[in-house]
Amino acid sequence: MRKTDISRFGDTINHKFLNKKPSKNKGIRIFLSSFSILWRLFISIVAITFLTSGIVLVSLNSYKSTILENDIALNITASKMSLTSFVYVNNEKGEPEEYDKVYNTENRVWIDFKDIPKNMKNAIVAIEDKRFYDHKGIDWFRTMGAAGNLLKGTASYGGSTLTQQLVKNITEDNQPSLTRKLREIFRAGELEKRYSKDEILESYLNVVNFGGGNRGVQAAANAYFNKNIQDCSLAQCAAIAGITQNPTAYNPLFHPEKNKSRREIVLKEMLEQEKISQDEYNAAKQESDNMKFEENGNNSSQNNNTQNTRNWYMEVLLKDVINDLCEKYNIGKSTAEDMIYKQGLKIYSAMDVKAQKIAEDSLKNSSVMPGDKNLELGYIMMGLDGRILATIGSRKEKTGNLLYDRACSAKRQPGSTIKPISAYAPAIDCGMYNYSSLIPDEPLQVETGHGVRNWPDNWYKSYKGKVTLQWAIEKSANAPVAQVIKALTPAKSYDFLTKKLKINSLDSSDAVSLAALATGGTHYGVTPREMTTAFQIFGNGGKFRKSYTYFYVTDRNDKVILDNRESPAEQVIAPTTANIMNRLLRNVVIGPEGTGRSANIPGWEIVGKTGTTNDDYDSWFIGMSPYAVAGIWTGYDNPKRIHETAAAIRIWKHIMTKYLEGKQNINFTFDKNTVTATYCKQSGNLATSFCPSTATGYYSASAMPSPCGSHSGAVQNTDEKNENSEQPQPEKEEKNPAESNESTKKEEKPNE
């Protein structure tokens, strides 16, 4: 198109539209168009809001149902009943029979609603929740007011009703979060449906904290006035009621002036709400000005424990039930304890009565126990599925309850017992090494405050150059395992220990510490229970299951509330890796260089690992038969050199030998993909006719070493069975090696 044509066309358009007169309907069309757009926007917003609200409501209802469906804590009459709980163990026929009773030993009397003074009831309602008898568990006026104060940054009062406060006290669910507040609201509404107002108030007055560890108004009356609550005056009831807002700040024994100010506020509220007359107020005010308190050392909240002394297993069992109740039902420890001691639970224990008796009787055997009676121990035995069979928390006779438990609570340095689980198992599992891989028995160069030095030292005071992984474990060498951790990386080792094997005693500093992961110089230490639970994977094909002391627990109506019977096992290492590690640990017990030779039990397949820390402060042995794995620690509560380091293995062997008596002799079972093959001791590869020295190794059929003479140390990935390999066969019975000082050499753990 020519330029003149463009100009002419443009002029025509300008003239046509710019000079045209506006239509009378243009404003209406613009209005209708705008209205249509706004209407569609409004409908969209409404639809989105409706849909979002629906999703939120459905989610909230689902959340509410999840909370309330199994909310076993919302039983406010259970404490009033104080029912005995029972512990059952399986007899020789596998049938549960009563073993122990657990009941409340606290000298605390529940006061019925009719016996609580009217002034006490009115005082609490007046100061804590004046609309208590009008709402359904939630006072939305107070809730809105509390929210407004929160937004303004001034929280002058909380929004919780008496019902909500009761929920908080019986569940001990106090974490500061929106989800916690939602749980509290849902639970309060449910409580109001289940119980009358008087029942809720009765429970509140019997369980709420009134300072100084005094739960309930009867305990408070006894503690502060040395009288029963029925005998307390109006002013005294006001003094007790005033404590609840801050039990520490308003405790009259320690802060009498603050309590005076608070109780007078209570009295004023009672007057304004017409719960008392002016004359009653005046008399109470006068009494308040001259109120005296006396500390009653024999108050009703004190624990008068008259129960028989429980054995170590029962102690651990009850702790486990309490912890699991807290975790599953989101309740506090006191609430869980109340459930055990007052709600008539039935606990089906996993204890093996025979194993527990053998362990306890061993403590009395002078030929087994160390001569130094101050040398302590912690011992635990469990099945290869995590079932705890027996446990001992001290070598001394147990004379009380709730004592320090060295098997399940004490954290001590594990020494070389950590090597199989921190280094060798994860390294073999990820394909970095195999049974006969060569590893440098050479020190690492590490930075210290005094410069660079060689680390770690070996207990045999030398370095051997290239050694096989099998030899390094059997000999419990320190330098090779440090090389493995460095190659694997401390982070991967730490993750395996904490995420796969659930060892929670380690802390973040251990995640970057070669000393912690290679030679057991951890920050806090680990417990025998954690270590023994971890070792189960070497006897069951690489499966990890949380250790447990009970099969299941029911409430008094036989409804199951805790259950370990169906707990899933996690495959943490390949079955072939577990089998290879099993054979490596077998050499620790029967090999010519084995540090655990004195643990061998003739006729049985025993595998295990020794561990001794710097300066002989800790001595360990974790060993396994085809029936059970057991771990023992020996040492002093205040660490010092042990002069009887052989005691750990001696005690372990005595108990395991007694436990295996009469049992059918069986071997560990191996995965079909675990094969044996002859390897060259010099190269670590599959042996040929030219190899001067050979031995039998255990391998995964799909990751065999290369033949000797090819690339040294290479792993041959193949799905075909190597011509030099065969399925592992049960080992022939071996003679028991002589027990000597040589068999209990320590593995030194220099500090990094």
Q: What is the pLDDT of residues 395-428, one digit of tens each?
A: 999 999 999 999 999 999 999 999 999 999 999 9
Residue 159 has a pLDDT of 63
Of 140, 136, 130, 143, which Cα lies nearest the Cα of 195? Answer: 136
Q: Which residues pair with 643 in a beta bridge?
A: none
How would residue 299 be classed by pLDDT, with cut points 50, 70 and 90?
Answer: very low
Q: Which residues pair with 453 in a beta bridge?
A: 446
- Spatial CB neighbours of 103, under 8 Å, sequence gap ≥ 6: 82, 84, 85, 307, 341
Q: Which of 80-84, 244-248, 303-307, 344-348 has the highest mean pLDDT?
A: 344-348
How would residue 7 be classed by pLDDT, with cut points 50, 70 and 90?
Answer: very low
Question: Residue range 286-307: average pLDDT?
Answer: 65
Q: Tokens 């010519």 appear where?
A: 592
Percent of the chain scored above 70 by pLDDT?
79
Would you say 237 and 287 are in contact if contact means Cβ atoms under 8 Å apart?
A: no
| Tokens representing residue 536 in the block | 């189960």
Would you say 318 and 403 are in contact if contact means Cβ atoms under 8 Å apart?
A: no
Helix (H, G, I), strand (E, B) or coil at 106: strand
For the chain, give the longest Cα–Cα distance. 122
* Average pLDDT taken over every residue of the chain: 85
What are 61-113's pLDDT values in tens digits?
Answer: 544 454 444 455 567 766 676 788 999 999 988 999 999 999 876 545 688 99
Q: Does the pLDDT at position 524 exceed 50?
A: yes
Which amino acid is located at 632 in the chain?
A: I
More confident residue, 58 or 201: 201
Helices 234-241 and 278-289: angle between axes, nearest 10 degrees: 70
Residue 509 DSSP code: G
Question: Residue range 648-667: average pLDDT?
Answer: 97
Question: Residue range 639-667: average pLDDT?
Answer: 96
Would you say 437 and 706 are in contact if contact means Cβ atoms under 8 Å apart?
A: no
Q: What are the residue boundaries of the structural domains of the chain, listed by start?
A: 113-289, 675-726
How would residue 388 be classed by pLDDT, with cut points 50, 70 and 90?
Answer: very high
Q: Which residues pair with 355 in a beta bridge?
A: none
Question: Residue range 522-548: average pLDDT?
Answer: 98
Residue 60 has a pLDDT of 44
Class of domain 113-289: mainly alpha
Residue 343 DSSP code: B
Q: Does the pLDDT at position 318 exceed 90?
A: yes
Would you say 516 and 423 are in contact if contact means Cβ atoms under 8 Å apart?
A: no
Q: Does the pLDDT at position 57 exceed 90?
A: no
Of 136, 290, 132, 295, which Cα lies nearest the Cα of 212? Answer: 295
What are 168-196's pLDDT values in tens digits?
Answer: 887 776 666 667 677 888 888 888 988 99
Of 182, 149, 147, 148, which Cα lies nearest the Cα of 62? Answer: 182
Q: How far apart are CA 622 and CA 456, in angstroms?
A: 23
Chain center to CA of 180:
21
- Residue ranges of the alpha helices (H) in 99-177? 118-128, 140-152, 162-171
More confident residue, 256 or 156: 256
Q: Does the pLDDT at position 5 exceed 50?
A: no
How would residue 727 be classed by pLDDT, with cut points 50, 70 and 90?
Answer: low
**What's the Cα-to-Cα distance from 334 to each of 131, 176, 213, rounded to whole Å?**
29, 19, 12
Q: How far apart are CA 714 and CA 717, in angstroms?
A: 9
Residue 531 has a pLDDT of 98
Q: Does the pLDDT at position 9 exceed 50?
A: no
Question: Residue range 515-537: average pLDDT?
Answer: 97
Residue 87 has a pLDDT of 97
Helix (H) or strand (E) holding 725: strand 725-726
Q: Does the pLDDT at position 292 exceed 70?
A: yes
- Judged by average pLDDT, the poorest of 64-73, 231-240, 483-492, 693-702 is 64-73
